[in-house]
Chain A
Amino acid sequence: GDSVTQMEGPVTLSEEAFLTINCTYTATGYPSLFWYVQYPGEGLQLLLKATKADDKGSNKGFEATYRKETTSFHLEKGSVQVSDSAVYFCALSDKGFQKLVFGTGTRLLVSP
């Protein structure tokens, strides 16, 4: 079945450092890919998405590119802030944006 693999955390960075969180997927078809973020005490929020190969999703300075050839959707940000500290989940869906298969999540800790 479909699956998503993320790098284990926590990822610990200093403010203004460059961020990469790796995500690879296995799917039989051509899924849509997502990054969700969970801030402490809050519900999951959609951060960005891409629906086809070579699409780049972006939001709040975060970017991820749908790479079909490497089945990857790595999350990047050029300069992280303390407020970016959260758990980040990579996910896919074969149909629409709702029935999602999630990775295990990666905790990001950003220190001043």
Chain B
Amino acid sequence: GAGVSQSPRYKVAKRGQDVALRCDPISGHVSLFWYQQALGQGPEFLTYFQNEAQLDKSGLPSDRFFAERPEGSVSTLKIQRTQQEDSAVYLCASSATGYATNEKLFFGSGTQLSVL
């Protein structure tokens, strides 16, 4: 597609439910990033994929958070047993080349997760 696409745009979950958030990066982009943006805060890095390999997951806040990109294109961020503190906008971004290059990031519009 023309840009990074994320779905759903909004997700409401009851505390304790599992959720799955989808990201379709720009076609052919090697790198894919997930960021978490809490209300009134800047985005914070969660994890990074180069093709299908998850090379950095240092930002995942707990073992309830899991991300995958099995075929090196679409990625899913899964949150198990959601808690109220998981409420945030989850941003996906992609870039054409690998990590630590000077290739710019393209961001999606995000999925706003509200945990009640």
Q: Could you tell me which A residues sit within 8 Å of B by CB distance?
A: 4, 32, 41-46, 51, 89, 91, 95-105
Q: How close is B1's CB to chain A, nearest CB, in angstroms?
A: 13
Whole-angstrom distance between the Cβ of B51 and the nearest chain A Cβ:
15
Rounded to whole Å, the gap between the CB of A103 and the closest CB of chain B is 5
**Is chain A's binding surface mostly helix, strand, loop or mixed?**
loop
Q: Is the interface of B mostly helix, strand, loop or mixed?
A: loop
* Chain B neighbourhood of A89, CB < 8 A: 42-43
Give the size category of B's interface with A: 20 to 34
Interface centre among B43, B99, B105 (most CB of A within 10 A): B105
26 sampled A-B residue pairs with Cβ under 8 A: A43-B91, A43-B108, A43-B110, A44-B93, A44-B105, A46-B104, A46-B105, A89-B42, A91-B42, A95-B100, A96-B101, A96-B102, A96-B103, A97-B102, A97-B105, A98-B48, A98-B95, A99-B33, A99-B100, A100-B43, A100-B45, A102-B42, A103-B42, A104-B40, A104-B41, A104-B42
